[in-house]
Structure 1
Amino acid sequence: MASALAEISRPGWLSDPLLASPPLLETAADHGRPCQTVPDNTTTIISLATALDMALCFNPQSQDAWASIRQYSAQRGEARAAYLPNISAGISRQQQQSRYPATSRQMDTSISTDSRYASLTWRLLDFGGREARLQAADHMLSAALASRDAIIQKIMRDVIALYFSAQSAQAERDARAEGKNIAQEILTMTKRRETQGLAAHTDSLQAATALAKAELELARATANADKTSLALALKLGFPQGVMRLPRIQAADVRRYNVIQKDLSAWQALASEQHPAIVAAYAQWQAAKEQYKATRADGLPVLDFSHSRYLNGRPNQELSARQSRETVTGLTLSIPLFEGFGRHYKQQGALAQIAQKEAQWQETRNQVLHDISQTYSEATASLLTLEASGRLLRIAEETMQAIQRKYAMGLADTQEILNAQAGLADARQERVRTLAEWRSAQLRLLTDAGKLRMHDVE
C-alpha cells in the first residue's frame, strides 16, 4: 500500500497536468514527512499532543481518507479531460505476397506498404453532460476533503476520551497509593499509642483493617490504570502496551475554559462548519449533478473529427498505389430509443438525491445531538471542578487538624480513620473532575469540528 501511495503522489507536471488535485495534497504533512518517532521505552512521558500526533499518523482511517482524496482528485481530472480533444496516430508496415501455380497465367505479386494515420476527435456540444459530471466530481472531492477533517476530529475525540480516562486512572492509582501510606502511618501511630497504654487493641485492629482496605483499593486502582493505559496504547499503536502520562494538574480555568458561547451559538457553528455536515451536503449536491449528467446522456451530442491517412486506412486491403486521404466532418448523434434503460437510470439518480438528502439531515441531527450533550457535560464539569477544589481543601485541612489532635491524644482512632477516608475520596473526586472537565472542553471543540493541535499544547 505504501508503494502505491508513493507512486500516485510522485511530484511532477505529468502527475497532474490538469491541476485536479487540491493544494492540500502538496502541502499537507501527513504523507510528506515522517510521523513523530514512537517512544521505544516505557519511561517516556506521553503528552496529549504527542498521543494525538501518533494517532493521526498511524490510524488506518486517516490513511484511507488521504487515499479517498486522491481517488476523487483523479475523478475530477477525468471530468476535466472530457473537454479536451482525443488524438491518436498509428504506423504500420505490411507486406503481401501472392504466388500462383506454374500452369496459371497469372504472375506472382509482392506488395510492401508503409501506412500512417493520425486522427483527432473533439466533442463540441453535449447539452451540459460534461459540466454536470465536472461539478459532481468537484462536490465529491469537497466531500472527501471534509470527510478527512471529520475523521481527524473523530480520531482526536476518541484519543482524548481514552487519554483522560487513562490519566485519571493513573492519578487515582497514585492517590490510592498515598492513601495507603497514610493508613500505614496511622497504624504505626496507633500501635505506638497501644504500647504506651494510650489506645486499646481494638484501635490497632481498626487501623489494620483500614490499611488492608487501602491496599485492596490500591490493587484495584492499579489494575484499572493498566487496563486504560493498554486501551490507549492500542489506539496509538504503542508497541510496549503501557505508557506513562503526565500528572493531572489543577489547570487554569480562565485559560482553558472554552464555554464562552451559549448552546445555540455552538449549534449554529457546528451546523455551518462541522466537516461531517459539510461532507454530507457536498455528497447531496454531487447526487444532483449526477442526475443532470444522466439526463444529458439522452440529448444529442455534436462531435468534430479530422483524420489523415497515408497509403490506406488501418485494416484496409493493401494497394500497390500510394494514396493520401484527409477526412473532416461533424457528427450529430441523436439518441432515439434504448429500451427505457435511461428512464430507469434517471429514476435511480433521483432516488439517490433523496437518499443523500436524508443522510445529510441525519448527520446534521446527530452532530447537533452530540454537541448538545457534550455542552451539558462541559457546563456540569466546570461546576463539579470548583466544588471538588473546595472539597479537597477542606479535607486536607481536616486531616491536618485531626493528625495534630491524634498525636496529642485528643482524637480517637475512628476520627483519624474517617478523616483519612474523606481525604482519599476528596483526592479521587478532584482527579476525576479535573479529567472530566478538560476532556469535556476538548470534546466540545471536536463536536463542533474546530479542535486544532494548538488547543491541546
Structure 2
Amino acid sequence: MVFRTGRITSFVGAFTTAFVLSGCESATTKASDERLNELLVQGLDDKAAERAESRLASTLERDNATGSLRGQYASVDAATSSGQLSGLLTAALERNTRIGTAAQQINRADAERLNAIFGYLPQINVTFTRDQINQEVIETDNAVFELGEAKYPVTTIQARIDQPILDLSRIFGIQHATNARSIAEVEYIRVVRDVVYEVFDAYLVASQARARSASLRQRMGFLGRQIDGQNALDDSGLGDLIEVSSLRSERSTIASEEALESARYAEALGDLALLTGSVVPEIAALRFPQGIAGSERRISADQAVATGLEQNPVVMSAALGVVGAELDRRRALAADFAPVLAAYAMLEREEREDSRFGGGSLTQDTTVGVRLTIPIFNGRGRGYETLPATVGVRAGALDYYARRRQIETEIRTTHARMGELSRAMGQAGNAARQSARALGSERDRLATGQSADLAVAARELRLSIARERTAFYQTEYLRSWARLQYLMGADLSNSGF
C-alpha cells in the first residue's frame, strides 16, 4: 500500500512539474513574428505608454532632490551664450549631465559605505505572528494524545538583537566600500576633466572651421576677380577660355569646401550646446596665445609621461580599482574560511488560547547567547567567492597596466605631434611672409603700370592660402597642447583662456 502510494505521489509530482515547465515555456515563447511586426508598426501599447509616462512625470516632478534636477538638466538653456570660452566652460561645469551623474555616483558610494558600516552595527528586529492552529490527533498509542483535539489562535511577539563581535568579511567590506567611494571621487574628477577638454576641443574645432570658411570665401572673391580679369581680356581678344574654365572649376571646388567647413562649424556648435546645456549660436574669436608656442620644448616627453602617470585621473582610478579588487579578495577569503563570532539576545512572548490538552497558556522566554560559526566546507552553499575574486585582482592589475600604457603612448604621440606642428607653423609663417612680400612688390608694379589687377589677385590668393594654412596649424597646435595638458591631468578650466 505504501509502495503504491509512493508511485502515485511520484506520478502526480512529475505531471505537475511537466505542466509547470510547459506553462513557463509557453509564457517565454510568445514573441511570434506577427507580434514583433505589429510592435514595429504600432509601437508600444497605448495604455502601457500612458502608464509609463504618468509614472515618469510623477517621479520627475516630485518636490524633492530628484525633482530639483529638472531646472538644471531637463532642457537646453534658451539664454543665448556669449560664445566666450570661459563662459562655455562655466556653463558646462554647471549644467553638464555627465558631471551631474558623476556627482550622484559619489552619493551612491557614500550610501553604500554607510550600509557596509550598518552591517557591523546591532541588528534589531521585532516580529509579530498570529497563527490559527487546527489540531486533530489521527492516530497515536499515547492515551493522553487521544484526548488532544483543538482549534485555537496563537499570538507570538518576538524581539531579537544580533551583534557581530568578530566578522572579518564585514570589516573588509567596510574598507572596500571606503575605497569605492574614493574611486567615485576620482571618477568625478575624471568626468570634469573630460567635459572641460571636450568643450575646449569643440571650441577650437568651431574656431578653426569658421576661420577656414571665411578664408575660403575670401579665396572665392579673389578667384572671382581673376575671372573678371580674364573676361576683360577676352573682350579685347586676349583672353584664355581654358584659363577661365579652370578658374571657375577651382572656385566651385572651393565653394564645396566652404560648405563642408560651414557644416563642420554647425556640428561643433551643436557639440558645445550638448556639453554646456545652453544654446550656442556662435563663438567669440580666438587669438593664438604666443606664450603657448614651443611648449613641447619646455617639458620633455619623459617628464610629461611621469606627470601624467601620477596625476591623470584615469590612472588613479585604475590604481584604486586594483586596491578595491584586493580588498574584495580579502573579504571573500574571510567570508569563505574565517570564523564569525556574534552575540544575540531574544525576548519571546507567546499566548496560546487553547491546546490539545485543554486550557491555554501565556509564556515569556528570554534568551541570551553567543554564536560561533566556523566554515568547514562550502559553508554558505554557494561555493567559494575567493576563486573569482582572485581572478578579479589579476584583471584589475591588467587594466591598470593597460591604462598606464595607453596614457604613456598618447602623451608621447601628442608631444611628438606638437614638435612637428611647431615646424609646420614656422614654415607656414615663412611662406605667409614671403607671399606678403611678393604681394607688396606686385602692388608696387601695379602702381607703376607694370602689372595688372589680375596678377595682384593671384598674389592675394596665394597669401590667403598661406595665412589660412598658418591659422590651421596654429589651431591644430592648440588642440595638441590642450590634449597634452589633459593627458597630464591638468585642469583646462584654469588655463587662462
- Tell me if TM exceeds 0.5: yes
Residue 130 (str. 1) matches residue 167 (str. 2): no
Q: Structure 1 residues 364, 247: closer, same or farther in 2, change over 3 A?
A: same
From 387, 406, 411, the counterpart of 1:366: 406
Quote how far apart the aligned CAs of 1:331 are. Answer: 0.7
Pairing 1:85–2:85 present: no
State the partner residue of 2:211. 171
Q: TM-score of the superposition, structure 1-length normalised? A: 0.77
Q: Partners in 2 of 1:208 and 1:161 — Cα distance?
A: 40
Quote the residue 1:346 is aligned against: 386
Contact 1:300 1:335 in 2 (8 A): yes
Q: Does 1:120 align with 2:161?
A: yes
Name the stretch that deviates more: 150-159 or 168-177. Answer: 150-159
> Do structure 1's residue 310 and structure 2's residue 349 form an aligned pair?
yes
Aligned counterparts of 1:345 and 1:98: Cα–Cα separation in 2: 46
Q: Residue 115 of structure 1 contacts residue 311 of structure 1 at CA under 8 Å; is this kept in 2?
A: yes
Matched residues in 2 for 1:359 and 1:111: separation?
65
Q: Do the aligned partners of residues 2 and 148 (structure 1) sit closer, same or farther apart at CA in structure 2, a change above 3 Å counting?
A: farther
Letter of the structure 2 residue corresponding to residue 392 of structure 1: A
Cα distance change, pair 379–202 in 1 and its aligned pair in 2 (3 A): same
Structure 2 equivalent of residue 454 of structure 1: 494
Superposition deviation, residue 279 in structure 1: 0.8
Distance 1:408 1:221 in 2: 36
| Equivalent in the alignment of 2:304 | 266
CA distance, structure 1, for counterparts of residue 338 and residue 75 of structure 2: 57
Structure 2 residue identity aligned to 1:168: Q
In structure 2, relative to structure 1, the CA distance for the partners of 1:98 and 1:343 (3 Å cut) is closer
Looking at structure 2, the residues matched to 223 and 52 of structure 1 have their Cα atoms a distance apart, in angstroms, of 27
Q: Distance in 2 between the 1:81 and 1:176 partners?
A: 67
Quote how far apart the aligned CAs of 1:123 are.
0.6
Shift of 1:454: 2.6
2:378 is paired with a residue of what secondary structure? coil
Structure 1 residues 32 and 179, CA gap change in structure 2 (3 angstroms): same
Give the one of 296, 320, 335 matched to 2:334: 296
Q: For residues 389 and 359 of structure 2, what CA distance do their matches in structure 1 show?
A: 52
Bigger mean CA offset, 321-330 vs 385-394: 385-394
Q: Aligned-pair distance for 1:158? A: 3.9
- In the aligned structure 2, how far is the partner of 1:204 from the partner of 1:404? 28
2:196·2:492 contact (CA, 8 Å) conserved in 1?
A: no
Per-residue CA deviations over 1:38-75 (Å, capped at 9, x if unaligned) read 4659x865333455556666766545534443433332
Whether the 8 Å CA contact 1:290–1:349 is kept in 2: the answer is yes
CA distance in structure 2 between the partners assigned to 1:279 and 1:208 by the alignment: 61
8 Å contact kept, 1:395–1:422 = yes
What's 1:21 paired with?
none
Task: Show the 5 A alignment for 1:379-390.
Answer: 379-390=419-430
CA change 1:275–1:31 in 2 (3 A) is: farther
What is the SS of the residue equivalent to 1:411? coil
Residue type at the aligned position of 2:450: L
| 1:103 corresponds to | none
Q: Would you say the 8 A contact 1:38–1:54 is kept in 2?
A: no
**Contact kept? 2:162, 2:344, Cα under 8 Å:** yes
Query: Please, which moves more after superposition, 356-365 or 303-312?
Result: 303-312
Cα distance, 1:394–1:90 mapped onto 2, change above 3 Å: same
* SS of aligned partner of 1:303: strand
Equivalent residues of 2:223, 2:461 under 8 A apart = no
Please state how far the C-alpha of 1:280 moved relative to its aligned partner.
0.8
- Matched to 1:124, the amino acid is I
Distance 1:258 1:5 in 2: 48
- Once the two structures are TM-superposed, the CA of residue 220 in structure 1 deviates from its matched residue by 1.5
Q: Deviations over 1:113-150 (max 9, x none)?
A: 76533211001012x21221112222222223223333
2:362 is the alignment partner of 1:322: yes
1:431 aligns with 2:471: yes
Paired positions, count: 426
Q: What one-letter code is carried by the residue in structure 2 that aligns with 1:278?
A: M
- Partner of 2:159, secondary structure, is strand
Superposition deviation, residue 434 in structure 1: 2.2
**Structure 1 unmatched ranges of 5 or more:** 12-29, 100-105
Q: Kindly tell me: are residues 241 and 305 of structure 1, through their superposed partners in 2, closer, same or farther at Cα, counting changes over 3 Å?
A: closer
